Structure 1
Amino acid sequence: MGQFIIEASNIRKKYDDKTVLKDISLQAQRGEAVGLVGVNGCGKSTLLRILAGLSNPSSGEVSLQAGTRMAFIPDRYEKINMTLGKFMEHMYLMETEREGRDRMAHYLHQFHLETMLKTPMKYLSKGTLQKAAVIQALLGKRDLMFLDEPLSGQDTLSQMTLIQELRERKEKGMALIMACHETYLIEELADRIYEIKEGELADGIPYVYGTHRKQCSLLFKPCSRQGVMEILKQCLPEEGWNITDFGTICRIEADTALADKLFGICLEKQWHIVRYEEADET
């Protein structure tokens, strides 16, 4: 396998007469994040489960470096009849190379689950269950983590907490393979992006910004979500920018020529700027 922590070759998956994945091959190195994108039902989750060893391919092979420690964050979690606290304790004790117990308390605090420990998981919301799935994957020391729509249903602060945690682990050498629709996750973490289209893997997708021009990305928190789009349409040209709404936080991607105008709008409307970045399109 050489430098790759995981390598998949010619993966095919068929359900009856329907072929979902067609001869897909990909690799990931330590410290690398690979993003999988595509429309709903294109096979992202199926490929993740095959790579993680949770499902068998119809043909093809997945190879891992010896001793690789893996974790999987599913896109949904079962509503079982067990309190969240007991579940977390059970998952913690299952780990052979676990983080300290104080680390589990830290995650419960960071994801705002401390008050829900006595609640049966069958009564928890999708977003809260997704937080539980995230924490159980973080309890042990990992070399490779698979993430299937990990931000789904989570509040903005929890999304940012997860991304920061993943970034730190990635810098320490953990590899990530992510299936997601959220551009926020892709932009913050992905080193390579692949699109699954009609069962095949299409690489060479421009990373984040596209080609030729210099772009900026502005993450901001408006005082009120009402009227944000109308204000931007009034103040900015019709082309050269787009906005993504994450709930309480929004992100604008635009030509850097519009940066001064964007800062002026935020100052005038008292919108709080969370982060500003520039990047050359490649």
Structure 2
Amino acid sequence: MNEVLSVKGLGKSFKNTRVVKNIDFDVHKGEIMAVLGPNGAGKSTTIRSIMGILLPDEGSVTFHNHDQDGVPRHKIGYLPEERGLYKKVKVMDILLYFAELKDYPLDRAKERALEYLKKFDLEGKENVSVDELSKGMGQKVQFIGSVIHEPELLILDEPFSGLDPVSQEVFKQEIKDLAKKGTAILLSSHQMNLVEEMCDRLFLIHRGQKVVYGSMDEVKEQYANFKCTIHGDNDRSMLEKIDQVERVEQKDDISILYLSSDVVVSDWIKQLPSNLDIQELSVDRISLHEIFVDIATDRSLAQEAGVVDAK
């Protein structure tokens, strides 16, 4: 697979505080890579180091395995978490300004801007000033500005923030389409359901260090044990005695049984006690959201499984 971005041994400190430590990952052409972590984990520092906004104390950021350190500015697109559009400027003017900053031909930029405005249901808004747009519309304009110059590497920081469900679907499809066309995409989001749906691989950072790195399938295999959800009035102590149940969570008449990694679901269900009150039962794997929470809150999951490392 064609490697577009390679981050090796990245480290950064602010005064006496070590913010990121020995960070390693890569991003390939045509893939969507998630960069995840709780607030303060070091995600923003990592992204800013890739962007060249910050200079790391150690390590390297290389583009297409070239000798020079860093990513050429005209090859990278960036949608920041904190939006920044000039409010009194017309939509088309600001999009052409973004293109000019990347040395992109303005006639082609105008053509692409009109195509995107139509695609994002903003047709006819090219001469409207930014301060007349809703928050969601402004988000769409900022997204267009990040891709108008056809970047090879696109960094999206909380791209779905402020969008209604319909606009989220449009963004999701566009991000997937860009990846299919060969754009390498680095996506940071706290919306784990969207990450799980869209991303090919993920890198999870906690306290400045890598804790999970691999394909979604690798992470699921390593972390995502089965859980059984039972609707019914059942005594917690009885549920905890069931073979291969590692922990039980209860709320009202809903019990969630977290099962051991070696469980064979079809056999396990057969040995459930006959006196259980089962109004409804379902078995599925724990979600990426639950994996994230377990690691971010320092539960035993990360220590038990160790680091998932991509091959």
Q: TM-score, normalised by structure 1?
A: 0.68
Do residues 89 (structure 1) and 88 (structure 2) align? no
Unaligned runs of 5+ in 1: 216-231, 245-282
Aligned-pair distance for 1:125? 4.6
**Alignment-mate amino acid for residue 174 of structure 1:** T
Match of 2:82 among 52, 60, 76: 76
Residue from 177, 181, 190 that aligns with 2:186: 177
Check whether the contact 1:10–1:24 (CA below 8 A) recurs between aligned residues. yes
Deviation at 1:203, TM superposition (A): 2.3
Distance in 2 between the 1:135 and 1:60 partners? Answer: 32
The ranges of structure 1 where at least 4 consecutive aligned residues each deviate by more than 6 angstroms after the TM superposition are 212-215, 241-244
In structure 2, distance between residues paired with 1:236 and 1:116: 51
Q: What SS does the corresponding residue of 1:14 show, helix, strand or coil?
A: strand
Which one is further off, 25-34 or 63-72?
63-72
2:177 and 2:281 map into 1 onto residues whose CA distance is 38
Alpha-carbon contact 1:144-1:174 (below 8 Å) kept: yes
- Report the counterpart of residue 42 of structure 2 in structure 1: 43
**Larger Cα Rg: Structure 1 or Structure 2?**
2
**2:115 is aligned with 1:106:** yes
Q: Which residue of 1 aligns with 2:31?
A: 32
Tell me if 1:138 matches 2:147: yes
Partner of 1:78, secondary structure, is coil
Secondary structure of 1:203's partner? Answer: strand
Between the two proteins, the alignment pairs up a number of residues equal to 227
Q: C-alpha separation between the residues in 1 aligned to 2:25 and 2:184? A: 13
Measured at CA, do residues 200 and 162 of structure 1 come closer, stay the same or move farther in structure 2, by a change above 3 Å? same
**Judging changes above 3 Å, is the alpha-carbon distance between structure 1 residues 124 and 79 closer, same or farther for their aligned structure 2 residues?**
farther
Q: Is the 1:45–1:179 contact (alpha carbons within 8 Å) kept by the matching residues of 2? A: no
CA distance 1:243–1:12, shift in 2 (3 Å): closer
1:36-88 superposed Cα distances (whole Å, 9 cap, x missing partner): 11112212122112112222212221111259621111112125232333212
Counterpart amino acid of 1:210?
K
Change in 2 beyond 3 A, CA 1:14/1:125? farther
Aligned to 2:197: 188
Shift of 1:174: 1.2
Inter-partner Cα distance in structure 2 for 1:241 and 1:62: 36
User: Contact 1:84–1:119 (CA<8 Å) still a contact in 2?
Assistant: yes
User: Mean Cα displacement is larger for which, 87-96 or 138-147?
Assistant: 87-96
Give the SS at the match of 1:22: strand
Cα distance in 2 between the residues matched to 1:125 and 1:20: 36
CA deviations on 1:181-235 (whole Å, 9 max, x unpaired) are 12243233311111111110122467278348899xxxxxxxxxxxxxxxx99x8
Structure 2, gaps ≥5 residues long: 228-253, 256-278, 289-311
SS in 2 for 1:210: helix
Name the % identity: 24
Counterpart CA distance in 2 for 1:123 and 1:54 is: 30
What one-letter code is carried by the residue in structure 2 that aligns with 1:197? H
Give distance in 2, aligned partners of 1:115 and 1:243: 41
Alignment of 1:141-160 (within 5 A): 141-160=150-169
The amino acid that maps onto 2:83 is Y
Cα distance in 1 between the residues matched to 2:4 and 2:215 = 24
Are the structure 2 counterparts of residues 97 and 156 from structure 1 closer, same or farther at C-alpha, using a change threshold of 3 Å?
farther
Task: Indicate the residue corresponding to 1:7 in structure 2.
Answer: 6
Q: Pairwise CA RMSD of aligned residues?
A: 3.5
